[in-house]
Amino acid sequence: MASSIRARKVFGIDFTSRPTARKPITCVEAQLQGKNLVFQALHEWTRFEQFDEFLAAPGPWVAGCDFPFGQARRFIDNIGWPSSWTGYIEHVGGLSRPDFRRALDDYRRDRAPGDKEHRRATDVRSGAVSSQKLYGVPVALMFYEGAPRLLRSGVHVPPLVDGDSQRVALEAYPGVLARRMIGRRPYKQDTREKQSVEHQAARQEILSALTDSGEDLGLVVVAPGSLADDPQGDHLDALLCAVQAAWSMRQPNWGIPGDVDTLEGWIVGPPP
């Protein structure tokens, strides 16, 4: 089964590559009671040290984290980084942030259009961008800040590394679950001037789909309507990450395919 872990404490973490008071790392804490996922608290972390402290906290717990845990095999092979997840994550963790950016920029520079950034198999399945992406939504910097912290913390990261089985981190992507409920309608916006009543309505529709008809996921989600009020969508995204983690806890092998590429990793959750 997915876990011999007896944990029923579930966390959903909406990550950022540079936490601030305005844009913190956002964490939903919940409890899985049978098939009921019950919201308990909302946490906001303005420093990476607070995320590190969370990872070090004793289990049992399971966390769905919204940042890429790995890079595409094609990229790793081409750039010449170590050919194991622990190896290349240790390498990345030893780079300064400017050196990491420079390595990705240098890799992209002379490659043909369409062959500059590569997606993992799980990115293609989930509609996610390449974890090499530095511009727009800088998921590469989220990877840079997040993945080495997972490795250093000693948590268990299926299917990438065996760690403390009472502290489990799973890669989540709230956008794929949101699309399952409202299609590709936008539901969040960081820029205040662009925030709209349509975004608010879309967030409320997502939350209603989770709490009113969560049976579609095999879960009953109990959460306050106020989670839809955040116009940046971070509170709702954190809840979606917790839902993906809870769904995975109820599946064999965390819902991860047996033939998954263990260099790349896997975004957990129900099929898109």
How does pLDDT run across 161-174, given as a tens digit for each residue? 999 999 999 999 99
- Comparing 51-55, 91-95, 185-189, the range with the smallest average pLDDT is 185-189
Identify the band that residue 19 occupies on the pLDDT scale cut at 50, 70 and 90.
very high
**What mean pLDDT is predicted for residues 257-262?**
96
The whole-number pLDDT of residue 201 equals 94
Identify which of 45, 68, 26, 36 has the alpha carbon closest to the alpha carbon of residue 266. 68
Q: Could you report the per-residue pLDDT of 184-239, keeping only the tens digit for each? A: 999 998 888 888 999 999 999 999 999 986 557 889 999 999 999 999 999 999 99
Q: Could you report the per-residue pLDDT of 74-91, keeping only the tens digit for each? A: 999 999 999 999 999 999
Query: Which H, E and C letters describe 97-157, residue by residue?
Result: HHHHHHHHHHHHHCCCCCCCCCCCHHHHHHCCCCCCCCCCCCHHHHHHHHHHHHHHHCEEE
Q: How many helices (H) and strands (E) does the chain have?
A: 9, 7
Identify which of 245, 214, 227, 220 has the alpha carbon closest to the alpha carbon of residue 13. 245
